[in-house]
Structures are given as C-alpha cells and as structure tokens.
Structure 1
C-alpha cells in the first residue's frame, strides 16, 4: 500500500484553522463577568438591576443617597437618627421649663443634752454624806427636792457663830453707842453671807433663827427639775469642795448634733425646720429647728456640726441615741431639667435637643443647683426647647453620637 506523504504546507494550514476556531469559541465558552451579568439581565423574564447610589439609570434619573446619621450642613452638629430607631430605644422628650425646686438634705445626728438645761450638784465645804434621798441613776427629781444630807464641822461652827451673832444683835442692836450697834449688825450679816456662799437656802437660815438649835446635818436640794444622768454620791462617803456628786438634766428639750457637708452648708439657715425620725419607729415624725451652726469645719470629713433643737416632752429621745434628720430647703422657681437628661463628661455637661424628624443636636450647658431629680440650668438652654430625657441610653445605643459629642469644641461664651 502506498502512503502519501503529508507536505509541510498542509500542516501549517491545518494549525491555522484550529487556532482561528479557538479564537472564535473562547469568549462564548468563558464570557467576562460584566458581559455575563449583562447577558443575564437582558434575558427575558429577569428583573432590571437598580442603579448604584449617584449613578444615572437608563432613563436618565439619578438614584437617591441613603439616609445617614452624619451631621447636617444646614445645622452644624445636628445628627439624624431614624425615627424607628429612636422608638425602639425608647427615647423620651420633655420641654425645658421653670420649676419650683426644693433641695432635701439628709443626715444622721446624735441626741445630746441641752447644755442650758444641765446642772451639776457640788458642795463648797468638806463633809460626810449622812443620808441619800436620791440614790439611783435615772431618778426623776423636781427643783428644790432633797438629794442628801451632809455633816460638816465647818457648817456646825458657822451655825454656832450665826446664833451668837443673832443674840448679839438683839442685845447690842439698840446700844447707845453707834459703833457697838453697827458692829453687831455687821457680824450678823457676815455670818449670814457665809451661809449664802455655801448655798444654804434662806428657809434653813430662818429655821435656825427661830429654833436657835444647831443642826448636825443640813440637806442639799436639787437646783432644777430633771433626770439624774450621773451620780457619785454614796452614803457615808467623805466629799471635798467642788466634787461632782450629781448631774441632773432636763430632757424635756434636747439637742441633735448632726454633720452637714461643706457643699450643703450654704443651704442651712438658723431657725429652719427639720423632720426628725428614729430608726426603730419611722412612723413617728418629730419637728425640730436649726438652733446653731458651729463655726468650725472638720478637715478630715469636710463637715460642720449643726445643732437641731426640739421638744422631747415624752422623753422618747434619749442622750447618745441616733436620729435621722431631714432638712427641706425651698429654692424658689428656677429653670431646670431632669438630671437624667444631662451627660457629664469631665467638666462638660451635654444635653441633646430634639428638632423633630429624628434630628438631635448636642448642646453644652452650665448647671447650677442639683436637687433630687432636677438640675438647674444657668446657661445653654432656653425655656420651651425640647430635650432628650433619656440621653444616656441614646448614647449607649447610638455610638455615632459619641463622635459628634467628642468633636464639640465648646460654645461661645461658655467655659
């Protein structure tokens, strides 16, 4: 069998035909991404794609830009948040208004004895206690009541001298010699003055004059009506001049000493009324008043003592007992907003104004007095402006507002 030899020219032509075929088939087998999407969209039944933001569509219209929370060029600093988002967060608004503010100061005080109703029983001569009439701590005594009797050699000698002076006055008081009559009178007055200096009452002196008998012991009486809160007197004990034997306090009127912080002292005035309650009986409310503001400050606690005075007729309040004190101060009518609406960032105080349509504007303000739920506004807001009262939740939820607050450099006229 004869084989025909293939010439080189035939091989070249064959390769050219195969290459041209691949050039024609390659784009149809592996089309580009853009052309594939265009071919798919141009297929019957496929929806037309929406143009990208800012891109013109086939009909010549420009697609709108999506809504964002970027600051508006018309109102610098204003941030727009979709209303649905605000409703989901639970943002609340409230108008700025003038309100009557009342500041409440609460503290704990200690019940103390009224020092003006306190008496200490001492004697001015030495002696021995014979008999005790008030022998227990806490006994209630009345003014002039006998406390104890005392024997003193000096007291006995003074009684004898006084009786001699009384007899001398009777004998020599009508003497024809003026010097003698005057001398007997001066001697009687000197003996009587010694009794007075020793706190011997007038009725005992009169009794001594009438009976003419020297008493071995003399009674010592209570100087005030009150309760015995300290007792050192014992039957048969020897006592020296100036030794404190009894301490008697009138507890029908007491003090409460309370600590008030330095920043609250300006609100406390003399004669202000205060409500006093006890921890074991909160239902009982007593009324006191500010009696004195002490002039010194404790450097460690930064507090000053304030004395509250109140009646204690049933003696429910006892010395060294703790009591709760509440002082309400009327501050008058002032421009105020809820404290929860204020965001404190260092020395800055920021609130968010609501302009409607989800537009919020951060505003720097200057605050004044703070009460329980209100904060006074000194600068930055006007009456009638609407503010966000749940701004803290808004800041936590919308981090985009944080950058707006941090970018605020300040307000004209505010520091």
Structure 2
C-alpha cells in the first residue's frame, strides 16, 4: 500500500470518529435513535395522592422538616374592633421636660464639661463661667459680714458699759443702729449671692482665701440629654444667652391635626398608637392629653397632643409618625358594629408591598393567601381577601415557608 493510500485511509478514520462524537456515540457502540435528543425526565416529587408536593403558592414539608420548623397555627376569627381614626403627626419635645440653661451672671466661659448628645445627671456641672461680677459680690458679702461682726461686738460692749453706768443710753442706741444697718447690709449681700445660684451652705462657707471666688458653675436642673450646646471656651456670655438646651427624651409629645368632622370621635384620655418607618412593626402607645379650644379656619383642623412614653429614646423630635386613635366611647352604645375578620399580627408576612398569610391546607401542606390589612388592636390585625373565618393561619414558622417558596421560584431543589 502506497503512502498516499495510507494517508487517505487515516483521514477517513478521523472523519468517522468526529461524526460519531457529534452523534453522541463511541466507536464500536450502538448508535442512538436517529433524530431523538436525550433529556432526563423531570424529577418532580409527588404526594401520596399523586399531586405535586409543591406548586405555585403551595409548600408541603416533610414530617421531619415540619417538626424542625416548629410551625404553629391559629384560626382566623371575627371580632368587633373598636372605632379607630387614622391620622399623621410629628414628634416634639415634652415641653415640661425641656430646659434652656443660661448663666445667672455675666462672665467668660472658663471650662465646658458637657458635650452635645451627652446624658447628664441632675446637678451635674455643664460648664464654668469666670465672672468678675461674682467675685465682687462674694467680696462684698465677706466685707458686710466683717462689719456685722464688728457692729455686734460694739453693741454688746456698749450694753455692758451702760450696765456699769459708764456709757450713756444714747451711746447704746447709736451702737444698736449701727448693728441693724450692718445686719441689713449682710442680708442684702447674701441674697445677691443666692440670686446668682449659691446655696445657703455655699454662702456660709465663703472665706477670704478662696482662689476660685470668681468661678460660677453652670449645672443641669434635672437628668436629661444635651440636645443643643452653644458654649464656646473663652466667649463672653450674659444671662440672656442660652448655653445649653436639655431635654428628657424618656417621654415625648406627638402633635396631630384632627379634622372637624372627626371631633366627635376624639376625647381626652383616648388611647393611641404611633408608628414610624424607622421601626416597622413596632407600636408606641400613648393617650390624648390636650385638645385645642380652637379649630383652624384655613384647614378646618384642630390641634391635639399625645403623651407617649419613650424609654429607649427611639422617637426623636421632628419625626413624622402615623397615628391610630382608638375611641372607646362607642363600645356598649349606639348601633352595633359589624364584625371584622382578624388574624394575629405575627401571621401576616410581606412580599415587597404585598401582604399574605399561609393557611394550613392539610398535613404539612400550606397555601399562600394574599390579603389586605386594616386596623390593628391588641395583637390582631384586620384582613380582607381570600381568607375565611376558622381557617388556620401560620403564626410561627412562616419565615421557613416563605424561604421554601422563594427557593422554588428560583428553581431550587426539593430538600424540605
């Protein structure tokens, strides 16, 4: 066989091998059916009844997975809910627990101790003011005190001399007048220091060797948070100058506007719930403590105020809030209210803007039902949609079901 023939045969073998590889066969093996592509059959688990274990909006767990999830259900029920009013408002400081701290005397800022946002105790030193005026007032008090002591001794001596018939009665009267004048001057000097904020104990303890006689301490009137600070080291300040603003944020006010048509549903003492976007799902309870006596002529609304406890300081003045007012006065009187379908708040899950619940539809089988939510009261929320009273909704373990459904939508496996 010539070399050319050998090359030609080798080329045929290569072409034959490439053709068989494209057809999905090995040399020497049986070819597949012509024109048929091989695709593995879909691996879809089925329940005992032959239905798919999971479909759109349906999740079915194995007994073991359900036990691990700790799923618990509660029935949807019908209840008569208290009459409620929805409005909006804004958080403000409790003005009864707000203080503008200013010096009682002019001087220069000597030291600043409190910082912006710092929590301070009642009586805690915020700053020190170096005041020439205070130093002069203390010196005047000490001088008046010395004159009073001298006048008292002179009066007592005159009384003794008069008793021994050495001094005349006129001398005693004159000594007594000088003493009265000295006592009055001492009292005036002491009251001046009291006006500057010194206590009686601090005034009594004054001495000539006090090197800090001109230092005036600026103290917090109550336990609060420093919400404003305007004290600058070395700056000249006067009593008109506000150096610190302190606020007790443990309780805040919420101002709301009530429309004229709703005034009959709003009363002093009515309960209210406030919600803010910063803390979704969390309610802040309060009650109406003030109703304005005047309706705004332009907006036809009335100003009302809520007192709201804020122990963790989550509500900040200036926050926009949604408020739900509860009117207890309609209970037990008037026309009977229609019952509403409610579920525990923990049963409602979110999918973007949508709200839904999972309904138990068999052994470890759960269906998603989209609902619209309404009023909330005492841990329950009003719902409407594809749900009937008595149907069991998932109140614990809904997160696992939601995760399983999300896995299905992404094409995940059947491992539940």
| TM-score bucket of the superposed structures, by smaller chain | 0.5 to 0.7
The alpha-carbon deviation at position 233 of structure 1 amounts to 0.7
**Corresponding residue number in structure 2 for 1:185:** 183
Equivalent positions of 1:144-293 (< 5 A) are: 144-176=123-155, 177-209=175-207, 215-293=213-291
SS of 2:104's equivalent in the other structure is coil
1:10-409 to 2 correspondences below 5 Å: 102-134=82-114, 136-176=115-155, 177-209=175-207, 215-330=213-328, 331=330, 332-335=332-335
Query: What is the CA–CA distance in structure 2 between the aligned matches of 1:141 and 1:250, rounded to whole Å?
Result: 10
**Contiguous gaps of at least 5 residues in structure 1:** 1-98, 340-371, 374-415
**Aligned residues of 1:298 and 1:304 also touching (Cα < 8 A):** yes
Q: SS of the counterpart of 1:192?
A: helix
* Cα distance change, pair 206–280 in 1 and its aligned pair in 2 (3 A): same
Question: Given the superposition, is the C-alpha separation of residues 255 and 210 from structure 1 closer, same or farther in structure 2, using an over 3 Å criterion?
Answer: farther
Alpha-carbon separation, structure 2, partners of 1:213 and 1:101: 70
1:101–1:334 CA contact under 8 A, matched in 2: no
Q: Distance in 1 between matches of 2:119 and 2:300?
A: 40
Q: Secondary structure of 1:334's match?
A: coil
Residues 148, 305 of structure 1: alpha-carbon distance in 2 compared, 3 angstrom cutoff: same
Say which SS state the counterpart of residue 280 (structure 2) adopts.
strand
Q: Deviations over 1:125-147 (max 9, x none)?
A: 3211111111x321111111111
Pairwise CA distance, 1:299? 2.5
CA shift at 1:297, angstroms?
2.1
Distance in 2 (alpha carbons) for counterparts of 1:327 and 1:217: 52
2:87 and 2:106 map into 1 onto residues whose CA distance is 47
8 Å CA contact retained: 1:159, 1:214: no
Q: 1:271 to 1:174 in 2, by over 3 A?
A: farther
How far the C-alpha of 1:251 sits from its partner, in A, is 1.0
**What's the RMSD between the two structures over aligned residues?**
2.5
Structure 2 unaligned residues grouped into runs of 5+: 1-78, 156-174, 340-373, 376-416
Q: Deviations over 1:124-177 (max 9, x none)?
A: 33211111111x321111111111111122111111111112222222234322
The alignment of Structure 1 onto Structure 2 pairs a total of residues equal to 242
* Matches of 2:271 and 2:88, distance apart in 1: 16
SS at match of 1:281: coil
Q: Secondary structure at the match of 2:282?
A: strand
CA 1:337–1:312: 2 relative to 1, 3 Å? closer
How many Å apart are 1:237 and its aligned residue? 0.4
Alpha-carbon distance between aligned partners in 2 of 1:214 and 1:140, rounded to the nearest angstrom = 27
CA contact (8 A) 1:228 1:249 kept: yes
Question: Partners in 1 of 2:97 and 2:142 — Cα distance?
Answer: 37
Q: Assess if the C-alpha contact under 8 Å between 1:106 and 1:327 holds in 2.
A: yes
1:295 match: secondary structure: strand
Return the index of the structure with the highest Cα Rg: 1
| CA distance in 2 between partners of 1:259 and 1:131 (Å) | 44
CA distance in 1, matches of 2:80, 2:304: 26
Q: TM-score, normalised by structure 2?
A: 0.54
